Structure 1
Amino acid sequence: MARLASMADLVLRNLTATPLELTLVERFEEEEEEPSSCCPILNCNITSRIGGLFNSSSSTVNLRVQDDAKDPDAKDRREVSFAVAPFETRATDVRAAVPGQETVRLTFESGGHRYQVDVTGASQRSTVMTKLDGGPNEYTAIYVAAGSCLTVLSSANLSAWMRELHDEYPLSALSIPGTHNSPTYHVALPSVRCQAVNVREQLENGVRFFDIRVSVSPGSPDMPLVHSAFPVSLTGTRYFKDMLDVIYSFLEANPSEALVMSVKREGTGRGTDQDLSKILKDHFYEGARWYTEPRIPKVGEVRGKIVLLRRHVNDPSLDGEWGGRGWGLDGSVWPDNCADAMLGSGIARLQDFYEVEHPRNIPDKIELARSHLERAAEPVCPLPGSEGYRPDAPPPPFFFNFLSASNFFNANCWPEKIAAQANPAIVEYLCLRHGEHGKGPAGLQVGDASTGVVITDWVGLDGDWDVIKCIVGWNARLQLKQ
């Protein structure tokens, strides 16, 4: 009984554009399924904590969803009424589930329809709510045990999530998930590989910022994909053109979407930045597929296109492009290993602190990422016709926020090890604290609550896309203003 008395009450956080009301709470004794040789997923541990999100499969428990929302096996059943407005956090007097002992089944109503989710007492991977009566909305729930908080997100169609957003928003106002060294998903040298899945899977699951490094030889359009001096694959050279063909195919199938691509010269090729700019201009940058104007665009201007962010100096022959303003978003003056700095061109504010020498320093890196999320949440972007809108107002800068870091000489600080801590920690922050006035590391006030561009390692491992889902989910805040 002492253990039950010590449990905190459940907190509900609605991060969707629709109101929700918790109407029914049922409790069940928890029963784990017996291990099955024909279905490995049933061997999962229902009490895995958020630190294990990154490497675990979804948990399963022996419970049945009842269409009539009444289950005779429930040990306790209570009708309640807790209304939670869009982007509201509300405390309840509903006791959170006891880890390892019980599961709490919650039934919500929205727009006259009912949705249901089972919550255990431990943090777990996201769960899509069950529709009890064919409701039109799709909801995803994430329970964070650290705050006894159930966070509800819109289950956006990740392959086409940008279609829900107004054309007039500047691209920098959006919450955009990205990947660091995006094509490094092949068999590679230690610390070179940064991603779990291929480029197409990243795109299909919502990633809209790609970090690309190429090796350049003067006059040759055959640019190998690299990470620092090393090829991204030990099983054969991978080329920029082949990756672009995959991206073009995705954008043709999903014309509502846009992709920001950072392109940087690395590797052992003898070409210069100037060579790279000319090769890209002459062989790759097609007007119908690329946005190369040196200004932050609006969403409607770039649907179906790749937005160029160049981390290289242009050849002087490109200085006259776009009325003498140059070519591409300028990221050529990129502060190195920085906690918070402006790009030289002023188009972005950057957190890219990547030197983590020891595992004990990983929490410091995570705190830098939280601080940059808080900064990204401050700006406000009014739409035309709304209060405060000025057609001549400059767009906010991009907030580029790298979760990635590594130390080649310490296997405990390779990208996958850091991501195993950073990704679930950011899921927790986005569910509990992001978008709440004064709840960030510096106690800042909140504007549109964008996350900025959050750039990740090792997403999609074992099907875990929760950090991407959380980032995309925050765009629902913009939908409220449309």
Structure 2
Amino acid sequence: MNAPLTIRNLSPAALVLKGIERFEDPNSQQSRPTAFSFASANTASLSPSTSQLEEHTHTFKQQSIHVRLLPFESCTLTPPGLQEDAGISSTLSSANLRLTIEVSGGERYRIDTNPSYTQKASQKFVPLAQSPSHHLTALFHPSKPIPHLSIHSNDSWDLCKWMSTLPSSLPLSSLSIPGTHNSHTYYRALPSVRCQNVSVKSQLENGIRFLDIRVQPSHATDASKKDLYLVHGAFPISLTGAKYLDPVLKACYDFLEQNPSESVLISLKREGVGSSTDELLSQVLEQHYITPNQDKWYVASKAPYLGDVRGKLVLVRRYTLHEDLKASPEDHGHGLDATQWPHNSTHAMHGPFCVQDFCEVLHPDTIPQKLQYSNEHMIRAAECVAFVPGINTDKTNPVPSGPLYLNYLSASNFFRRSCWPENIAKVVNRGIEEWLCMGHHLEDPLTTPAEPGRTSTDVATEATVRKAKRGDGSTGIVVMDCVGEGGDWDLVKMIIGMNMGVRLKTETETS
């Protein structure tokens, strides 16, 4: 029996699955572990020649289909089989699948894949006409027992300025926002201290819009001393000397000046050794960093709309205020209050935030539990329906926006190497990516938040379309460790791509 393949539309446009072919690729490399043919950028090179067709006619099978998938929708197909006497097993690397899709206007695109391969892979679709209006990518996950292929749009999001495509009327809480945990810890450091692979500048350029920064005042009692050390817990973040907050903020200011459509949430928290206090930190930040740069910060206590914060840093305050600052005028504000959510929480409401921050993964056996909590929090975020002024609430007196769903994928145990940040991230980041592709915002997914890489075989009817759930499909703010390793930003792109739900809602209502 031929192995089925699940296909999902994660582009913002409706598409139609038009044809699926199965054939022996004479150019294939048998040792290739990924799901896409090296030659698939050139469709003609994979097409069998006339002589090959005459010699191996029984190895080429074609099936015409017509399955329409709206954004978020999914279906499972069984490709046409090869004759038993052809001597070709469906598990051999030489048996390829060719998928043809059609978008509005009749444009067609094609890609070649092999569901038997064992590694995640991505590949661009080949347009079958000149001057195509779309640039589509397929992302293959070798989930078991049914592999999965999701279709994404490359031309919807420029990672440097992806917020530019979103209406200013959207509440910030409605967006899918990729973030990093301990964003500043990308230097060579002690074990378990380093959580990131690239600089803050590179993170911003690759789509990150939430930064998690931990600092320690250089002087325990004197607020006139400006310097704030970057730390992670009790440890400095670099073996080559102290690092400071100033360069991080400069990278943010420079980025926002070059990309004024964007906004960056920045969470600031005091950590480190010594006798300094949150109250002192609040004075240092106010006196030396925020007040001199008021035009660069959003410090109100109310969750904003995107238009309120373009070109600005949004302060997420994880420190208590000095009494003098508490007495300041109400209209001044001191950021979104994130001071008191419960430690190690799987789901907690605090102020403008709904938080998942289960971080005490003391043994590798607990990593799947962390993954499940993270995916379940994304489910809660996806079920929300944003109130957008002029769309589904009054333009001048709108219903207040909902909470910001803050979802930390990070966890660690300093005393167990298998639970250091990079090792947990390898499992959790991959599982989040699989869930976003295969299960997120679907009414009847074939997988679960606990085991997103394992699919059910309970496919009732061939080509049955699984619909999107109620809600906008957003992920909330997803805060990651070790993102961008080896240039792999697929997870960030997927999170940004989930903004298609709120974007489509505003486009539909205004068209």
- Same fold by TM-score greater than 0.5: yes
Matched residue, 1:56: none
CA drift at 1:291: 0.5
- SS at 2:121 equivalent: coil
The answer to whether residue 477 in structure 2 is matched with residue 453 in structure 1 is yes
Paired with 2:419 and 2:304, the residues of 1 have a C-alpha distance of: 37
Matched residue, 1:160: 161
- Give runs of aligned pairs for residues 192-271 of structure 1, distance below 5 A: 192-216=193-217, 217=219, 218-219=222-223, 220-271=225-276
| C-alpha contact (below 8 Å) 2:79/2:97 kept by paired residues | no
| C-alpha contact (below 8 Å) 1:13/1:151 kept by paired residues | yes
Paired with 2:441 and 2:371, the residues of 1 have a C-alpha distance of: 17
| C-alpha contact (below 8 Å) 2:34/2:121 kept by paired residues | no
For 1:83, the aligned partner's letter is R
CA drift at 1:339: 0.9
Matched residue, 2:122: 126
Uncovered stretches (5+) of structure 2, i.e. residues with no partner: 54-59, 82-89, 451-467, 507-511
CA drift at 1:388: 5.0
Matched residue, 2:73: 88
CA drift at 1:70: 5.6
User: Which range moved further: 305-314 or 120-129?
Assistant: 120-129
Paired with 2:432 and 2:75, the residues of 1 have a C-alpha distance of: 21
For 2:11, the aligned partner's letter is T
Matched residue, 1:369: 374
| C-alpha contact (below 8 Å) 1:15/1:87 kept by paired residues | yes
CA drift at 1:351: 0.7
| Residues 414-454 of structure 1: per-residue CA shift (max 9 Å, x gap) | 00100111111111111111111365659x96311111111
Paired with 2:94 and 2:381, the residues of 1 have a C-alpha distance of: 40
Paired with 2:92 and 2:198, the residues of 1 have a C-alpha distance of: 32
Aligned with 2:385 (options 380, 384, 408): 380
The answer to whether residue 342 in structure 2 is matched with residue 335 in structure 1 is yes
Matched residue, 2:318: 311
Aligned residues: 455
- Identity of matched residues, %: 40
User: Which range moved further: 228-237 or 141-150?
Assistant: 141-150
| C-alpha contact (below 8 Å) 1:32/1:46 kept by paired residues | no
Q: Pairwise CA RMSD of aligned residues?
A: 2.6
For 2:432, the aligned partner's letter is I
Paired with 1:203 and 1:329, the residues of 2 have a C-alpha distance of: 21
| Residues 353-378 of structure 1: per-residue CA shift (max 9 Å, x gap) | 11111111111111111111111112
CA drift at 1:233: 0.9
| Cα distance, 1:80–1:472 mapped onto 2, change above 3 Å | same
- SS at 2:294 equivalent: coil
CA drift at 1:249: 1.4
| C-alpha contact (below 8 Å) 1:173/1:381 kept by paired residues | yes
| C-alpha contact (below 8 Å) 1:215/1:223 kept by paired residues | yes
| C-alpha contact (below 8 Å) 1:82/1:92 kept by paired residues | no
The answer to whether residue 277 in structure 2 is matched with residue 284 in structure 1 is no
Paired with 1:32 and 1:438, the residues of 2 have a C-alpha distance of: 36
CA drift at 1:387: 3.9
| Cα distance, 1:372–1:378 mapped onto 2, change above 3 Å | same
| Cα distance, 1:23–1:332 mapped onto 2, change above 3 Å | same
| Cα distance, 1:467–1:99 mapped onto 2, change above 3 Å | farther
Matched residue, 1:37: none
| C-alpha contact (below 8 Å) 2:387/2:401 kept by paired residues | no
Uncovered stretches (5+) of structure 1, i.e. residues with no partner: 35-42, 48-58
For 1:185, the aligned partner's letter is Y
For 1:108, the aligned partner's letter is I
CA drift at 1:95: 5.5
Q: Which runs of 4+ in 1 moved over 6 A?
A: none
What TM-score does the superposition give when structure 1 sets the normalisation length? 0.87
CA drift at 1:321: 4.0
- SS at 2:194 equivalent: coil
Matched residue, 2:401: 395
| C-alpha contact (below 8 Å) 1:210/1:260 kept by paired residues | yes
Matched residue, 1:138: 135
Aligned with 2:9 (options 14, 22, 34): 14
Paired with 1:462 and 1:441, the residues of 2 have a C-alpha distance of: 26
Matched residue, 1:39: none
Matched residue, 1:29: 24
| Cα distance, 1:67–1:284 mapped onto 2, change above 3 Å | farther
| Cα distance, 1:28–1:342 mapped onto 2, change above 3 Å | same
What TM-score does the superposition give when structure 2 sets the normalisation length? 0.83
Paired with 2:312 and 2:44, the residues of 1 have a C-alpha distance of: 44
User: Which range moved further: 260-269 or 412-421?
Assistant: 260-269
| C-alpha contact (below 8 Å) 1:340/1:351 kept by paired residues | yes
Paired with 2:64 and 2:326, the residues of 1 have a C-alpha distance of: 68
Matched residue, 2:429: 423
Paired with 2:108 and 2:28, the residues of 1 have a C-alpha distance of: 26
For 1:106, the aligned partner's letter is L
| C-alpha contact (below 8 Å) 1:321/1:327 kept by paired residues | no
| Cα distance, 1:99–1:253 mapped onto 2, change above 3 Å | farther
The answer to whether residue 365 in structure 2 is matched with residue 360 in structure 1 is yes
| Residues 311-366 of structure 1: per-residue CA shift (max 9 Å, x gap) | 000112222445267411111113111111112xx211111011111111111111
CA drift at 1:164: 1.1
Paired with 2:166 and 2:331, the residues of 1 have a C-alpha distance of: 32
User: Which range moved further: 319-328 or 205-214?
Assistant: 319-328
| Cα distance, 1:118–1:321 mapped onto 2, change above 3 Å | farther
